[in-house]
Amino acid sequence: MIDIVFYFQVHQPYRISKWKPGDRIHKLAYFDDPLNKLVLQRVAERCYLPMNRVLLDAIDRTDGQFRCAFSLSGTVIKQLRDWAPAALDSFVELAESDCVEFLCETSQHSLAALEHPDEFRAQVELQRATVQDLFGSKPTTFRNTELILDNRICGLVESMGFSTMLGEGFERVLGWRSPQVPYTPKGCKALKLLLRSYSLSDDIAFRFSNSKWPQYPLFADTFASWLHGLPPPAQFVGLFMDYETFGEHQGAQTGIFDFMRRLPDEVLTNPGFRFRTPAQVAAELPSVGDLDIAQPLSWADVERNLSAWLGNPMQTQAHRELYAMRPMLMEVAERRPDLLEAWRRMTTSDHVYYVATKGHSDAEVHDYFSPHDSPHAAFVSLMTAVDDLRLQVQRARGDVRSTELGR
């Protein structure tokens, strides 16, 4: 029996406005809420609402045989609550089917795991509580931002009580080994690591509408036949992708919704295949052995490393200055939670992603997502906001100290 594991990442950042040095920023209004609302509502109409209906229909039509998993970042959950509550309700309806697993991640889709373990734990606990409250069950599977992991991060995740983690099945780490069997990260005792089959995943997420692709147009029966033809030792197939693939990145006119309507039935024509959630696979399949992930691995760009976010001096400076602010921020966080909220929104990985200066296909992807005119413009906007927030934190610390001195 081979398990098909669909995992969908749902995320929207709070994009920073196009600030310039010398601009006056009032009341921590760093973020372009008109743009954020516009994008969120557009994606809800194009993707979340129609695709959730497709998946609910697949669950009903197959009498619960179709199963999948989601991770919704804390930032997209907040935006859905504020600007598209009907779309959020449709995710809750999926949870109520008992055929969909909702995963945990950092609340802000941040890079905290790379820089500050305490902040990482804080954001994970916030997200765990949000997921449990919203979807009705405590998450046991973890996916770090952009599937970033290494041995250290996996150990941290295991220490927080998670039993399963998702990662990228890239040859740099795997070598000759298969991405389609469970592993245990080196140094962990029980954490199961389920990896993404990136070629099959990207056939849907990136190549589906590419008319120059030799397999274009891709039909559900064709893709199902590729799955059915997988050789040993395949035990599961991790099809992990951004949920916005459906209807937003790949528009409805491409046939992507029809493809997904038909795919579950096509897969199930072979009795040797079934759909499972990550938690089910981890519970049912033993680890085949340890996997040593000495250097951070991600699912982004050609290199599958950290260069999408920390690949040039502008990115590393922004990242360093942002996290350097945390100690003094925590001194005033209790009396000024608005400062902490603004700072955490700035930790969202998208902000440094927009500052990448890459070439070729990677640059095209970064440019597609960025609301800024150039990486340098994105850097200026981010650093202007960071500098202003630092000033507000310093003023708040001064208020605290002057009060204490006056006692």
Query: What are phi and psi for residue 216, nearest 5 degrees?
Result: -75, 140
User: What's the rounded mean pLDDT across residues 355-381?
Assistant: 85
Mean pLDDT (whole number) for 149-174: 97
**% of the chain residues with pLDDT over 70:** 97
Band (400; pLDDT cuts 50, 70, 90): very low
Q: What is the DSSP letter of 348?
A: B
Whether the per-residue pLDDT at 399 is higher than 90: the answer is: no
Pairing of strands 184-185, 2-10: unpaired
Residue 308 pLDDT greater than 80, yes or no: yes
Mean pLDDT value across residues 59-73: 98
Residue spans of the domains in the chain: they are 2-291, 307-400
Neighbours of 45 (CB within 10 A): 15
pLDDT average, residue stretch 140-153? 98
The DSSP code sequence of 126-159 is HHHHHHHHHHSS---EE--GGG-B-HHHHHHHHH
Please tell me the least confidently modeled range out of 98-107, 298-307, 396-405.
396-405
What is the Cα–Cα distance from 18 to 351, expressed in whole angstroms?
Answer: 12
Mean pLDDT of the region 336-363: 90
pLDDT score of 406 more than 80: no
* Catalytic entry in 101, 105, 146, 168: 146
pLDDT digits (tens, 9 = 90+) for 215-249: 999 999 999 999 999 999 999 999 999 999 999 99
pLDDT band at 364 (very low <50, low <70, confident <90, very high): confident
Q: What is the CATH number of domain 2-291?
A: 3.20.110.20
Please tell me the distance from the alpha carbon of residue 258 to that of residue 278, in angstroms, as a whole number.
Answer: 25
User: What pLDDT is attached to residue 368?
Assistant: 80
Q: Is the pLDDT of residue 362 over 70?
A: no
Tell me the DSSP string of 221-250: HHHHHHHHTPPTT--EEEEEEEGGGBTTTB
SS3 (DSSP) at 275: strand
CA distance 398 to 314: 30
Whether the link from the prior residue into 337 is cis, omega within 30° of 0, is no
Residue environment code for 213-239, b if the CB has 16+ CB neighbours within 10 A, otherwise e: eeeeebebeebbeebeebeeebbbbbb
Q: What is the pLDDT of residue 150?
A: 97
- For residue 191, what pLDDT is reported? 98
Residue 55 contacts by C-beta under 8 Å, 6 or more apart in sequence? 66, 68, 94, 100, 260
Q: Which tokens is 260 given?
A: 């997904």
Give the count of beta carbons closer than 10 Å to the beta carbon of residue 253: 9
- Has residue 404 got a pLDDT over 60? no
| Residue 115 annotated as catalytic | no
Spatial distance between the Cα atoms of 165 and 148, rounded to a whole number of angstroms: 11
Q: Any idea which residue has 């800024």 for tokens?
A: 372
- Give the pLDDT band (50/70/90) at residue 407: very low
